[in-house]
Amino acid sequence: MAYKLKEFPNVKNIYRNLSVASLYEHSLKWPNVKLTSTGALSILTGEKTGRSPDAKRIVLSENYTEDLWWSEGTPNIPMSNESYQINKNLGINYLNSLQQLYIFDGYIGWDLEYRKTIRIISSKPYHLLFCKNMLIEANNNELLNFNPEYTMINAGAFSTSPLLNDLTSSSLIAFHFENKEILILGTEYTGEIKKSIFSLMHYLMTLENVLTLHSSVNVGPKGPSIFFGLSGTGKTTLSSDPNMSLIGDDEHCWTDKGLFNIEGGCYAKCLNLNKEKEPDIFNAISYGAVLENIILDEESRVVDYKDDSITQNTRVSYSINKINNTIIPCVCPHPVNIILLTCDSFGLLPLVSKLSLNQALYYFISGFTTKMAGTEQGIDTPISTFSSCFGGAFLTWHPWIYALLLKEKMEKHNTQAWLVNTGWVGEKTKQRVDINISRKIITEINNGNLINNEFDSTPIFNLLIPKKCGDIESNLLNPEFNWSNKKKYINELKKLAKSFQDNMSKLNQDNVFIDVINEGPQLPVE
């Protein structure tokens, strides 16, 4: 049945909530789309193969402007309403010039009390297939009277002019919270759809005293665990464990009732994907899944997951229903454990450390990791970075607001935090820690085997290292044992500690959270 939108009177065909099969038929007409040997769809996203964080803008309004996180260096850059309207009109005019458009009507979040309704409008059918994977689709009865509260206008194939916005590129991801709109121009990378919605939830949920988390969540024998971490730290891989029940792989909210997944699917990195090490992800790449920027054999259509000739940020989106041990609906009780994942390329942090409450807040607000290649435009080699709350690019309020919400919930529900390094350990280590070792650590945490362990303490950082962790070699647990030159090890620790302190000084300029600061790394007085 034909669908009409008053903003697009010239568009001949507007398709709403098409089936997967129909979206396949529409998508395969595009030259950048192919069918793979496993039945998944393969797409190319054009020039942009990663997020464009410098293109994010928030429209100014007297109703909320003063309270947002506007400090220098934050991800939130103000935009005038006039500039927004100019760009919105450009995007709508572009979409109105097309023969067909696609609409997704559905929900953000699995908790019926907190979920939000959204409409996504795009010119590309495979963008809507991505939305079917990553959000919760409204059913036929719900569609009869569906009235979306929020709208995303995705005119990503149309590039804006930097002269209109003081932008550094032709891309724009703009949030107009007052109008309840998101506008995307100049990028067809599907990750922008996902992360724009995540930023929206960071704004909305905080107003309801709900904590939005860049995390994965699974449920083990002792209860749920939250995994914090930036892209490439192992959230998706480590939470997709056949022995655990999955709630979600990337975006969650913590309410007074427990945890819920914001999304309806998973968005996993594909580079060097291995069936034996990541069977859940590998097997999920089937009919309905959308692969991005991968290379496949032209004859057999078999994907080469080792090929990074387009980008190192090869991705796949798939419905969470493809994971056999998923809990549906994706909600669960309060967490027993919080696991802060970091990828330390310096080999200084332990594989696993038990954290006090204030240490957990310190490392949460620091969000230290190594930014992995390919996750953003222009990132080709690993870079040490700090991203507040392990998701600084998506925050709208000051990081301490999220940290204080975390403190409140951890205290109330007696949640234990752990720091887990999925990167390198020690100077001698030439390769990243094997994913199976990281899995063993997570299993020990989830089974409750580490909580009453005996612990050693690291210098400067004062992190508690368990003396035993299953059958993992004990020498591997302590990074100091993997440095041949102890003096060099201490000097490198001091450098890392100084970078932590410098980062924290930017976030705590009023010096008011002394208890938390004092449990971060402490440089010796010399």
pLDDT of residue 113: 98
pLDDT of residue 59: 95
Residue with tokens 């002269």: 163
pLDDT of residue 237: 81
Q: Which residues pair with 57 in a beta bridge?
A: 174
Q: Average pLDDT, stretch 229-241? A: 81
State the Cα–Cα distance between residues 96 and 158, nearest whole angstrom. 12
Structure confidence by residue, pLDDT tens digits, 297-327:
999 999 999 999 999 999 999 999 999 899 9
Using alpha carbons, select from 90, 61, 80, 88 the residue that is nearest to residue 165.
80
CATH no. for 223-240+336-518: 3.90.228.20
Sign of CA dihedral 19, 253, 200, 51: negative
Asked if 113 contacts 26 with a C-beta cutoff of 8 angstroms, the reply is no
Residue 210 pLDDT > 90, yes or no? yes
Radius of gyration of the chain (CA): 23
Mean pLDDT across the chain: 92
Q: Average pLDDT, stretch 243-270? A: 95
Q: Average pLDDT, stretch 422-441? A: 86
**H or E stretch covering 342:** strand 337-342
- Nearest 5°: CA angle at 64, between 514 and 89? 135
Using alpha carbons, select from 481, 296, 482, 497 the residue that is nearest to residue 384.
497
Q: Output the pTM of the full model.
A: 0.93
Residue 430 pLDDT > 80, yes or no? no
CA distances, 77 to each of 66, 74, 419 (Å): 13, 8, 32
Using alpha carbons, select from 253, 179, 244 the residue that is nearest to residue 218.
244
Residue 431 pLDDT > 80, yes or no? no
Residue 459 pLDDT > 90, yes or no? yes
The token pair at 461 is 């950082």
The token pair at 113 is 């009390």
Residue 371 pLDDT > 80, yes or no? no
Name the CATH architecture for the domain at 13-208: 3-Layer(aba) Sandwich (3.40)
Cis before 31? omega within 30: no
Structure confidence by residue, pLDDT tens digits, 461-509:
999 999 999 999 988 999 999 999 999 999 999 999 999 999 999 887 6
State the Cα–Cα distance between residues 46 and 23, nearest whole angstrom. 20
Q: Average pLDDT, stretch 346-366? A: 96
DSSP 43: E
| Strand intervals (E) in 352-415 | 352-355, 368-371, 383-386
Q: Average pLDDT, stretch 232-261? A: 90
Residue 168 pLDDT > 90, yes or no? no
* One-letter identity of residue 339: I
DSSP 326: B
Structure confidence by residue, pLDDT tens digits, 40-90:
999 999 999 999 988 999 999 887 777 899 987 889 999 999 999 999 999
Residue with tokens 């549906």: 328
Residue 375 pLDDT > 80, yes or no? no
pLDDT of residue 64: 76
Residue 399 pLDDT > 80, yes or no? yes
pLDDT of residue 380: 59
Asked if 117 contacts 201 with a C-beta cutoff of 8 angstroms, the reply is no
pLDDT of residue 428: 63
Count CB-CB contacts under 10 A for residue 115: 16
Contacts of residue 52, defined as CB under 8 A and 6 or more positions apart, other chains included, come to 169, 171, 173, 186, 187, 189, 192, 376, 377
State the Cα–Cα distance between residues 450 and 470, nearest whole angstrom. 9
Catalytic residue list = 51, 195, 214, 231, 235-236, 250, 315
pLDDT of residue 243: 82
4-18, 138-152, 425-439, 467-481, range with the lowest pLDDT: 425-439
pLDDT of residue 461: 97
pLDDT of residue 201: 99
Largest CA distance in the chain: 76
Among residues of the chain, what percentage have pLDDT more than 90?
A: 80
170 vs 121: which has the higher pLDDT = 121
State the Cα–Cα distance between residues 286 and 305, nearest whole angstrom. 15
Using alpha carbons, select from 199, 115, 119, 186 the residue that is nearest to residue 152.
119
Which value, to the nearest 10 degrees, does the dihedral of the CA atoms of residues 368, 370, 374, 375 take? -10
Name the CATH architecture for the domain at 267-322: Beta Complex (2.170)
pLDDT of residue 26: 98
Q: Write the burial class of residue 31 (CB in 10 Å: 0-12 exposed, 13-18 middle, 19+ buried).
A: exposed
Residue 165 region, left (φ>0) first, then alpha (ψ -120 to 50), else beta? Answer: alpha
Question: For 172-195, what is the HEC assignment?
Answer: EEEEECCCCEEEEECCCCCHHHHH
296 vs 425: which has the higher pLDDT = 296
Residue 376 pLDDT > 60, yes or no? no
State the Cα–Cα distance between residues 173 and 50, nearest whole angstrom. 13
pLDDT of residue 338: 98
Sign of CA dihedral 439, 444, 447, 448: negative
Using alpha carbons, select from 154, 180, 13 the residue that is nearest to residue 88.
154
**Where in the chain are the domains?**
13-208, 223-240+336-518, 267-322
Q: In which band, very low, low, confident or very high, does the pLDDT at 377 lie, cut at 50, 70 and 90?
A: low
pLDDT of residue 303: 98
Torsions phi, psi of 465, nearest 5?
Answer: -105, 125
| Strand intervals (E) in 1-111 | 13-16, 33-35, 41-43, 56-59, 78-79, 100-108
